[in-house]
Chain A
Amino acid sequence: MSDAAALLSLRAITKRYPGVVALDGVDLEVQGGSVHALLGENGAGKSTLLKVLAGATAPDAGTIGFGGVDVRFERPRDALQLGITVIYQEFALVPELSAAANILLGMEPGRRGVIDRALERARATDALAQLGAGFDASTPLKLLTVAEKQLVELARALVRDAKLIALDEPTAALSHRETARLFERVRALKERGLGIVFVTHRLEEVRQIADRVTVLRDGRRIWTGGIRDVSDAEIIRHMVGRDVEMERVEGRAAPGDVVLEVRGLTREPSFRDVSLSVRAGEIVALAGLVGAGRTEVARCLAGADRWEAGTVTVSGRPLRPRSPREAIARGVVYLPEERKTQGLVLGMRVRENATLAVLKRLSRLGVVRHGLERERAQRQVDELELRPPDIEREVQTLSGGNQQKVVMAKWLLADAAVLIVDEPTRGVDVGAKSEIHRRLRALADGGKALLVVSSELPEVLALADRILVMSEGVLRGELDARTASAERILALALPGGGSRAA
């Protein structure tokens, strides 16, 4: 299938992080003068692979061949010097400097530490001209658009004589026109013999730009081949796999009345015209890829952000919270996706975290009733089987799953009617995952309405009664969880990846 003279060949790359194998014996070969697309769900290992490629992280096992020679990267500089440039979604640029200074950052021409500004500008201008850029090299970077900043990154690769450029979801923040122009430039670079690694979620783009495709899943390489030899449906099947099923937790009773009703909710540019309803006793999942706008919807409902248009009612009464405080007062609580930065005060005790949202109920004349607080916190923590069940421990000493239980304890104590749960099991080990699923189901059985945002398809399938799929800020469709499949969810979730039927 491949030439012996591959430009890049990664062989059996393995990278472990505490608790996860991010990459498990991954092979990847990229030819000069070709575009190789890297596909996979969130967490499949694409980002880690790029980091290995960039020399930003060292693999635990495996070899890297470049230009026919085995190489080792101690630091990103080593990879750069060989001619490998990785362009991340978050650009590594200095906003206050000019485009030219950014392009030559780290390799400024000059003598004895004095920069030759004319030469710097000339070289930057030359690189930008090769890319057909329409702005001056002396422009301050912060005035440039995302697409233009991307050109600065590409120009940076050119002045370093890059032979291989890896782009991490380069089109995520681009308009259709900008994407088309980027593709022209990528093709031009390919014509010059450069190898391109292209990470994206969008199958239509893969069809337009890629020669070959590698699909990763759960840190393993699942499939590699020519783009012409494979259908979209096959690619999706490779991405989803079958071996990731989770035990499904069924609800006990038929759902009751509608508790949360959302109509035409819009907050540009994150999401628009989102309508959904959640009944008492029901778990509704909001599925989709990272960046689809799900968390943004959740944060608006929780009062953390404002929406621009649309209406929300809770138990029939309109809700328009200006702060989480107001949402909580109306019985809508939010378990945020980032446990450590948004869910917990890590330096405080379990007890203090658990009662933070309900302290008013546990105090008299502003003085916290210590005994009552202890009792409530202990009871909740025991019910959730926190390990260790010590309410005076600082939460930063607990494992991820137990920290998540503390977040849950906080919101259980709040006794809200609506729980909005964002990525409930991120960073939690497998055993704790199904336990958290059972807890969430128990809450629904107790009459709560749950809206769960999750990027993990097995979780969505195991947990939800109904699945709403979002893509690019829009609800693409609704599926019954009992009949849904990962393929059908992903087909709706991938931008331009499948049917757009609602």
Chain B
Amino acid sequence: MTTRQLGARYGVSLVLLGLVLLAAMFIPGFFTRANLTTILLHVSINAVIALGMTYVIVTAGIDLSVGSIVGLAGVLAAATLTNAALVRALGPGLAAVAAVLVGLAVGAALGFLNGALIAWLRVAPFIVTLATMTVGRGLARLFTGGLPIGFPDAGDPDYRGKVAALDALNHLGGGRLPLPGLPTGFPVPALVMLLLVAAGGFVLTRTRYGRYVFAVGGNEEASRLSGVPVQMVKLGVYVISGACSGLAAVLLVGQLRSGGPDAGMLYELNAIAAAVIGGTSLFGGIGSAWGTLVGALLIGVLNNGLDLLGVQSFWQEIAKGVIILLAVVFDVWVKKAGQTVKRTGGK
């Protein structure tokens, strides 16, 4: 294996490791269990969205609608959670379950719409998801009148029930699991993220569907001629991306105890950034769940470290931009490595 191929496989992980070491040495308060746990919590929502985004980008697509899905799925999940009749009928626990299902269903449905338009009408993913991004945000604001849903009035006859339901969902979005040696406990969203990345990685690398995702992204025509159901594969990645965003929306509602119509703004860019930094190629055919997690962590560690140093948030944005650029340049460099190998291999 050449240096480049090694770099391609482990480069971003090494960068993350180096960054963590540097931060551990020079930033007081960084390398504590509590702070590291906080980083995991902070990256979890972005990582969940970015995982779905990875599927899409591996097929050489893009999903700009994820942020709006977070907004729309969030307000609908919050509305479900604080629906008086529902809470009375189901009780707070089942109402929370219903809210989760609503969030997932809304996300998957919008993803289905994206995927159907892209796979069957052959509209460019950028355009389709740009449109659903706008429509989704509009629907979220229309539904809520622009105000967040959550906080019940103290005079509300169902006040207690609604609060109980919000509390129930808060176990998912803001809960902590006791963990020996960790006084603050382990954040539930971070656990959700880790489980999801493990599952997402398994599907990508071990299942027939995952293989098809890479094949379609690597060469759509060759895949079609090999009998790969290209349209279903494409539909699938957008449904997965939508469902991941729906799940992220529910986590966010649980964390904040409310669903706001403007939640998730610009999340699409953070998700794309995480995937790309993690080695997913925008040309398709290359990417991994683990890489995307590393990409999300890299952004998280960077933000956290700069926060602790008291650096202005503006600088954090600049740093993130530079890292994205480096990742893309790296991607191009690795691509070139493939061509060099081709020449030597072809006599």
Question: How far, in angstroms, from A360 to B342 measured CA to CA in the complex?
Answer: 30
Give the contacting residue for B215; candidates A341, A345, A394; CB below 8 A: A345
Chain A residues within 8 Å of B345, by CB: 396-399
Is residue A400 within 8 Å, beta carbon to beta carbon, of the partner chain? yes
Using Cβ atoms and an 8 Å threshold, which residues of chain B touch A269?
none
CB-based contact A341/B221 at 8 Å:
yes
Q: Is the CB of B346 within 8 A of A398?
A: yes
Q: Which residues of chain B from 221 to 259 have any CB-CB distance to chain A below 8 Å in the complex?
A: 221-229
In the complex, whether A329 has a CB less than 8 A from a CB of chain B is yes
Q: Which of A35-43, A126-134, A311-319, A320-328 contacts B (4 or more CB under 8 A)?
A: A320-328
Closest to A359 in B: B208
Contacts of B336 in A (CB 8 A): none
> Which of A324, A347, A363, A366 is the one whose CB lies under 8 Å from B285?
A347
Sorted nearest first, the 7 A-B pairs with minimum C-beta distance are A397-B345, A345-B218, A328-B227, A325-B227, A345-B219, A357-B226, A356-B226
A400 to B207, CA, bound (A): 29
Nearest A residue to B341 via CB reads A397
Decide: A302 near B225, CB < 8 A? Known: A347-B286, A370-B206. yes
Please name all residues of chain A whose beta carbon is closer than 8 Å to the beta carbon of B342 when the two chains form the complex: 396-397
How many angstroms between the C-alpha atoms of A400 and B345 in the bound complex?
10
20 contacts between A and B (CB under 8 A): A302-B225, A323-B229, A328-B226, A329-B227, A342-B221, A342-B222, A342-B225, A346-B219, A347-B286, A348-B214, A348-B215, A348-B285, A356-B226, A357-B227, A359-B208, A368-B207, A370-B206, A396-B338, A396-B341, A399-B347
A-chain residues with CB within 8 Å of residue B207 when the two chains form the complex: 363, 366-368
A444 to chain B, nearest CB (A): 22
Given contacts A356-B223, A399-B346, 20 further A-B contacts (CB under 8 A): A327-B227, A336-B225, A345-B218, A348-B218, A356-B211, A356-B227, A357-B227, A359-B208, A359-B211, A360-B208, A363-B207, A366-B207, A366-B208, A370-B206, A394-B338, A397-B346, A398-B345, A398-B346, A399-B347, A410-B226
A352 touches B225 (CB 8 A): no
Whether B211 and A347, one on each chain, are in contact in the complex, defined by CB atoms closer than 8 angstroms, is no
Is B208's CB under 8 angstroms from A368's CB? yes
How far in angstroms is the closest Cβ of chain B from A330?
11
A254 to B297, CA, bound (A): 66
Contact code string A247-289 (vs B, CB < 8 Å = 1, else 0): 0000000000000000000000000000000000000000000
State the majority secondary structure of interface residues on B. helix
Contacts A363-B207, A399-B346 known; A345 to B338 CB distance under 8 Å? no
Does B209 sit within 8 A of A, measured CB to CB? yes
CA–CA, A363 to B219, complex, Å?
22
A344 within 8 A of B: yes
For window 330-347 of B, CB contacts with A under 8 Å fall at 338, 341-342, 344-347
Cβ of A397: which chain B residues have Cβ within 8 Å of it? 341-342, 344-346
Cβ contact within 8 Å between A367 and B206: yes
Q: Which residues of B contact A356 (CB under 8 A)?
A: 211, 215, 223, 226-228
- Check A345 against B222 for contact (C-beta < 8 Å): yes
In-complex Cβ contact of B226 among A324, A368, A399 (8 A): A324
Interface core residue of A304, A345, A357, A400 (most chain B CB under 10 Å): A345
Q: Is A307 an interface residue (CB 8 A)?
A: no
Question: How far apart sit A302 and B225, CA to CA, in the bound complex (Å)?
Answer: 8
Closest to A403 in B: B346
Contacts of A65 in B (CB 8 A): none
**What is the chain B residue whose CB lies nearest that of A299?**
B225
Q: Which A-chain residue is minimally distant from B224 (CB atoms)?
A: A324
Chain A positions 356 through 380: 1 when the CB is less than 8 Å from some CB of chain B, otherwise 0: 1101100100111010000000000
Distance (Å) between the CB of A272 and the closest chain B CB?
Answer: 24
With both beta carbons as reference points, the residue of chain B lying nearest to A373 in the complex is identified as B211
Alpha-carbon separation in the docked complex, A336 to B225 (Å)? 8
- A352 and B346 form a contact (CB under 8 A): no
Residue of chain A at shortest CB distance from B340? A397
* A368 and B214 alpha carbons, distance in the complex (Å): 14
Q: Does A498 contact B (CB under 8 A)?
A: no
Minimal beta-carbon separation of B222 from chain A (angstroms)? 5
Please tell me if A198 contacts chain B, counting CB pairs below 8 Å: no
Pick the most buried of B209, B222, B224, B345: most chain A CB atoms within 10 A of its CB. B222
Interface check A343, CB cutoff 8 A: yes
- Cβ B225 vs Cβ A324 within 8 A: yes
User: Which B-chain residue is minimally distant from A304 (CB atoms)?
Assistant: B225
Q: Is A334 an interface residue (CB 8 A)?
A: yes
A325 touches B341 (CB 8 A): no
Are A324 and B227 interface neighbours, CB within 8 A? yes
Cα separation A400 to B342 with both chains bound (whole Å): 11
Bound CA span A397–B222, Å:
18
Closest to A399 in B: B346
B208 and A363 contact, CB distance less than 8 A: yes
Question: A359 contacts which chain B residues (CB < 8 A)?
Answer: 208, 211-212
Query: Measured between C-beta atoms, what is the minimum distance from A408 to chain B in Å?
Result: 13
Q: Are A352 and B224 in contact (CB under 8 A)?
A: no
Q: Which of A347, A352, A370 has the most CB of B within 10 A?
A: A347
A396 CA to B335 CA in the complex, in Å? 12
Tell me the minimal C-beta distance from A403 to chain B in angstroms: 9
Contacts A394-B338, A398-B346 hold; do A346 and B206 have CB atoms under 8 A apart? no
| A360 to B212 Cα, complex, angstroms | 11
